[in-house]
Amino acid sequence: MAAEPSERQRDKASASARSLLLTVLGEFVLPRRGEVWTGTLVAALGALGVEEKSARQALARTAAEGLLTSTRHGRRVRWSLTDAADRLLREGTERIYGFMRKPHDWDGRWLVLTAGVPETQRQLRHRLRTKLTWLGLGSPAPGLWVIPDAAKAGAVRDVVRELDLGDRAYAWTGTSADIGDTTSLISAAWDLDDVEKRYLAFIERFERVTVSANREAFVNQVLLIQEWRRFPFLDPDLPAELLDHDWPGPRAATVFHDLRNRWHRRAQAEWDQMDEDAAART
């Protein structure tokens, strides 16, 4: 008899189901007026290996976070993305599909931010870290954030304003004063060795994948996006001037976009079929 899953395993499964749900919402629901049947989502997550109970829990959790609202149609429930979810998913889509899409020139300027949030305000610290990491900033020391991209100043300003940190944050842009070692700064701010290993694993995992059916295209496309969406949190997309060897990020980006384009039509067809089946149920 199989052992009962531990609380940690259940929490991990719940988080995984929610993460897959957000990917599905962004890729398939957002482009379709932001509406979907419960049955469609349960079937979609089921194809991805998520049990129905976990799928429904992920739906309830996402709704509790203010990202989904429900409307009952007889015995069926139809979900709609809230305005907050629409913004979140559109921003995520833009970031995911625009990330490392093309090389960019560097003017030599850095953006540096100091933001003091005490340990006692853990939730605020977490929100700040999540938002700054999503923008590509790294933290080489407590309370200090950097990125070699002065154009991110406006986005960082928005984060500071949103979190009401204007009286505890200060940022400036400029070129290096040639004090200290830039390589050491980069190593302290980002774990690029780990990111490189992840890129190579991503390439190895997906570049040889082929699909022969719509269901396979759907599953593999979701898994492809699920893996790729992590990289904007991990990789600051450093300019070539700050990299000491051939960086695998652009190659991984090519694999991502080529496969997504190749699988897109069949994946969408599979989604439409699942949606038709859900709509037909009484």
Instruction: Give the span between the Cα atoms of 37 and 47, in whole angstroms.
Output: 16
pLDDT tens column, 150-182: 999 999 999 999 999 999 999 999 999 889 999
pLDDT of 12 reads: 40
Say whether pLDDT at 14 is over 60. no
Kindly indicate the confidence band of residue 282, based on its pLDDT and cuts at 50, 70 and 90. low
Is residue 218 predicted with pLDDT exceeding 50? yes
Q: CA of 86: how far to CAs of 32, 91, 251, in Å?
A: 12, 8, 30
Q: Distance (Å, rounded) from C-alpha 89 to C-alpha 199?
A: 24
In this structure, of 51-55, 93-97, 100-104, 220-224, the range with the lowest mean pLDDT score is: 100-104
pLDDT at residue 7, rounded to an integer: 43
User: Average pLDDT for residues 133-140, to the nearest whole number?
Assistant: 94
Span 59-98, pLDDT tens digits: 999 999 999 999 998 888 999 999 999 999 999 999 999 9
**Range in 13-17, 94-98, 177-181, 195-199 the model is least confident about:** 13-17
In this prediction, residue 6 has a pLDDT band, given cuts at 50, 70 and 90, of: very low
Mean residue pLDDT of the chain comes to: 91
pTM: 0.86
The answer to whether residues 47 and 26 touch, using CB atoms and an 8 Å cutoff, is: no
- The residue among 52, 47, 90, 95 whose CA lies nearest residue 217 is 47
- As a dihedral over the C-alpha atoms of residue 154, residue 158, residue 160, residue 162, rounded to 10 degrees, the angle is 180
pLDDT bucket at 130, cuts 50 / 70 / 90? very high
Q: Which residue has the higher pLDDT, 104 or 125?
A: 125
145 versus 243: the higher-pLDDT residue is: 145
